[in-house]
Amino acid sequence: MNKKYISLNFLPLGKTAKVKFLTSSGIMRRRMLDLGLVSDTVVEALQKSPSGDPTAYHIRGAVIALRSEEASKIMVEVN
């Protein structure tokens, strides 16, 4: 079975996905891991700000706002 991954910033609102891997490095990678964005974590896209960036995501019981630039470094598998 061939799995297709997308970056988190392309996840449609109201959909959920599982984190598969991060493409960021350094302090940004550490921040993402500290937020709980580890492999197989379920993420739901909740809403976009009026300007379209950032987007609010439900991650491990918390609502976290990520800019598109940050979310593009998180690869997910849509459920």
Could you give the dihedral angle defined by the CA atoms of residues 66, 51, 48 and 21, in that order, rounded to the nearest 10 degrees? -30
- For 44, the domain range is 6-78
Tens-place pLDDT, residues 25-46: 999 999 999 999 999 999 999 9
Is residue 73 one of the residues assigned to a domain?
yes
Q: How many domains does the chain have?
A: 1
CA distances from 16 to 13, 27, 77 (A): 9, 26, 9
Tens-place pLDDT, residues 48-70: 999 989 999 999 999 999 999 99
Is residue 44 one of the residues assigned to a domain?
yes
Indicate the helix (H) or strand (E) that contains 26.
helix 26-34
Is residue 1 one of the residues assigned to a domain?
no
Domain at 72, CATH number: 2.30.30.90
How far is 23 from 6, CA to CA, in rounded Å? 12
Is residue 38 one of the residues assigned to a domain?
yes
* Threshold 0.85, pTM exceeds: yes
